Amino acid sequence: MTAVAAAEAWLEQDPDDVTRTELRQLIDAAAAGDAAAGAELDDRFGSRLAFGTAGLRGRLGAGPNRMNRVLVAQAAAGLAAFLRERAATDAAPVVVIGYDGRRNSDVFARDSAELIAGAGLRAVLLPRMLPTPVLAFAVRHLGAAAGVMVTASHNPPDDNGYKVYLGGADEGAQIVSPTDAAIAAHIDAVAAGDVRDLPRGRYETADESVVDAYVMATASVAPAPPAARDMSWVYTAMHGVGHETLRRVLDVAGYPQPVVVTAQIEPDGRFPTVAFPNPEEPGAMDLAFETGTAAGAEFVLANDPDADRLAVAVPDGDGDWRQLTGNEVGLLLGWRAARTATTGSLACSLVSSPGLQAVAERYGLGFHATLTGFKWISRAPGLVYGFEEALGYLVNPGTVRDKDGISAAVAMLELIADARGEGRSLADLVDEFRQTFGFFSSGQVSVRVDDVAIIRRVMAALRATPPAAVGAVAVARAEDFREGVDGLPPSDILRLWLADGSRVIVRPSGTEPKLKVYLDVRGDTAAEAAGRLAALDAGARALVATAQA
C-alpha cells in the first residue's frame, strides 16, 4: 500500500478534526506533486511508533509514526487485551490513568479510559492533570493491575507519550521486556482493524483522596527540621504540573513556600519560555536563576514538566549560579539514605556515578548497577534508594516505584535544612562528600540528531572498530552490552574501561533523538579529577566525530 493510500485509510478512522485537516492537506499537496508533502507522508506511514519498555513517545500528528488519537486508541485496546489475558481471576482488572499538561494529554487519557472500560476493565481516571509520580503512587494505592500516564516528560513541546506501569508482583513499576513485546503484539492485532469498531464504556473518576494520600506519604519522607523555618529558595515547575502538588506537600511537611518563577509556574504545553522544557538543557534554568538572584535565594529547585525529575542549583559566589549535576544530587541523596538504612541496597543506572557504590560499601549496604531507566532501578533487590544521572531520584520505594521529583525535593530540603542548622550550605555538603568518599567527576557528551540513522551508524562504527584509546589514555577493556554483561539483559550500550580507571559509556537515548556519551573519572584531588575529565571530554568528542565521518 502506498503512503497516500495508507493515509486515506487512516483518515477514515481518525476522530480528531485537527489531525484530519492536517492529513487531508498533506494528501492533497502530495497528489499535486509537492515532494516535501510526499516525503512527510512517507515518514508518517512508512513505519510505526514502536511500543517498548518506555511505552510510546513521539511527535503529535496524524499517522502511525506520530502520537494521535488513533494510535492511542490502538494502544489502550491492546493494553486492555493484554491485561484481560493476564488476569488471574474473572474480576475486572483495574487500570488507573493519569495525564499532564501537554497538548492532547487530557484527550488521550479520556480516550484510553473509555476504551479500557469498553473492553470490560475498570478504568479510573485521575481527577485532573497531575505529576507522573502521583500516577505511579496511585497504581499501588488503588491496587490496580496497571497504570497509564500520558506524558512526554521533558521532551520538546510537539511531543507526547504513553507510559505503562504494572501492579501486582511488579509493584507499580514501569514495564520491562518481555512484557512490552506481549503488549505490542496485542496492539498490532488491534491496529489491523478499525478503531471505530472498538467499544467504549463509562469510566470512573478518582476522588481527591488519592492525591491526599500521595501528599501525606510524600510529606512523611522528610518532615521539616527546625532550621528549615526561614529558608529562602526559588522553585520552577518548567511550565509543568508540579507546583500544586509540591505546595501541598510543603505545607504538610512544614517547609516554607518558595519564591516561584511566575512565568513558568502554571501548566502550559507550549513551554513558551524555554527551547526544551528540560532542566538539563542550556538556558532552561535561566529564569529561575534570575529569580533567585533577585530574591537573594539560598538555592533553586526545579521540576521538569511532569515533575518526576529534580534539578538543584546554588550560588557560585561570583554572583552567578551553579547547577549541580544529577550525579552530585544523586550521591548526596544516596548518602542521606545510607545513613539511616540498616539493611537493603542502593542502586543506580550503570551510566550514573560509581560514587554510589563507594557509599554503599562504606555503610555495609548492597549495591546494584542496572540498565538505564527506573523500570530497572526500581526492581533492584532490597532497594532503599536509587538514582540515575539524568536528574531522577527514587527516595521512597515503599510508596512510589519510579523516579519522583517531588519526594526528592522534600528530601533535598531536609538535607539543606540540616546543614543550615550546623552553619553550612549545600555547597559545603558537596565538598564534604568528596572529602569522605573521593573526588568523583562525571560529564556527558550529548549529540542531538535529526535522523536517528546517524546514531545507528555511530554505534555500528564503534563496534566494528573499538577504539584503542580515548584521547591520550589507552582503552584497557571494551564491553558490548548487546552480548550481555554483568548478568544484565542485552542492551545497545558500549562501555570502555581506560587504563587510568576512567570509564566511557556510549548509548542512544531511550526517549530523544540523541547519542549520549557518559564520562566518569576519579582523582585524589578536585583539580586532578577536573583535569582528567576535561581531557576525557575532548577525547570522547573526537571519538564520536570520527565515528560520524
Q: C-alpha grid cell for residue 477?
A: 577493556
Secondary structure of 253-313 in HEC code, one letter for each residue: HCCCCCEECHHHCCCCCCCCCCCCCCCCCCCCCHHHHHHHHHHCCCEEEEECCCCCCEEEE
Q: How many CB atoms lie within 10 A of CB 213?
A: 16
CA pseudo-torsion sign 15, 21, 27, 28: positive
Q: How far apart are CA 27 and CA 468, in angstroms?
A: 51
Q: How many CB atoms lie within 10 A of CB 393?
A: 30
Q: Which residues contact 549 (CB under 8 A, 6 or more apart)?
A: none
Q: How far apart are CA 291 and CA 280, in angstroms?
A: 18
Task: Fill in the amino acid letter for 417.
Answer: A
Q: C-alpha grid cell for residue 188?
A: 498490532
Contact predicate 498/482, CB 8 Å: no
Run of H or E including 202: none
Minimal CA–CA distance to 359: which of 379, 385, 382? 385
Q: How far apart are CA 363 and CA 353, in angstroms?
A: 17
What b-and-e string marks burial along 52-69, b requiring 16 or more CB atoms within 10 Å of the CB? Answer: bbbbbbbbbbbbbbbbbb
Q: Please identify which of the residues 47, 105, 112, 153 carries the catalytic annotation.
A: 153
Classify 239 as helix, strand or coil. coil
Contact predicate 242/408, CB 8 Å: no
Q: Is 105 a catalytic residue?
A: no
Catalytically annotated residues: 153
